Amino acid sequence: MYLDDRPFTTSALTAAAGCEPMTFRTWRNRNGLFPEIAGGRKWKRFTVVDVCIVRVIVAMTAHGLSASHSIRFAQDDLRGTLEALLTGDRHTCLVGFFIGGIQNDEPTGYYDESGNFQIAKTKDRPEASHSFIFLDDAVSLSEAMSMTKGILTVIDLKALAQQVIDFLDGRGA
């Protein structure tokens, strides 16, 4: 894969990400998607990483996660991973999400009601509304499932990024 500096219009982004333009505008206005390029009267241009981020958000919301949680996670936690995949610095990445908290007593990170990041043992914190987990070769799927109360949605970020690139290059539809 590759990371290039081609700028993409909003219409190219929404087509490649499988997102309705009105939904994309709502995510930007209501949920703060891409705040670094807000304002001004110029036409907005987006990177291939931005397109991949929107595609991940589309996948997460299609599987039941709220737009606000999907946007926060995709923008804050996946941008670097997607860049590494596109530059070849990383060759695989699976990310999973599920409703509720992790079933173990290890210290875990979470966002409290005020949006502040906290770390606490599972028993010492309120039940999370949702959780994310990065899967790698060291973690088996059955281990991950045992922490999720049985339901886990997994996204292959490399495959997702390749689909976006193929679409932007005219090889997908």
Query: What mean pLDDT, rounded, does the chain reach?
Result: 83
Q: Give yes or no for residue 74 having a pLDDT over 70.
A: yes
Q: Domain-by-domain residue ranges, the chain?
A: 10-168
Q: Of the candidates 85, 66, 22, 54, which has an alpha carbon nearest to the alpha carbon of residue 167?
A: 54
Residue range 29-59, pLDDT digits in tens: 999 898 766 555 566 889 999 999 999 999 9
pLDDT average, residue stretch 121-128: 67
Question: 99 CB contacts (<8 Å, ≥6 apart)?
Answer: 64, 65, 129, 130, 151
Sign of CA dihedral 10, 21, 25, 56: negative
User: Which pair of structure tokens corresponds to residue 168?
Assistant: 């932007």
> Could you tell me where the beta strands, DSSP code E, fall in the chain?
94-99, 107-111, 117-121, 130-135, 153-156
Which amino acid appears at position 93 of this protein? C
Q: Of the candidates 133, 88, 90, 87, which has an alpha carbon nearest to the alpha carbon of residue 110?
A: 133
pTM of the full predicted structure?
Answer: 0.81
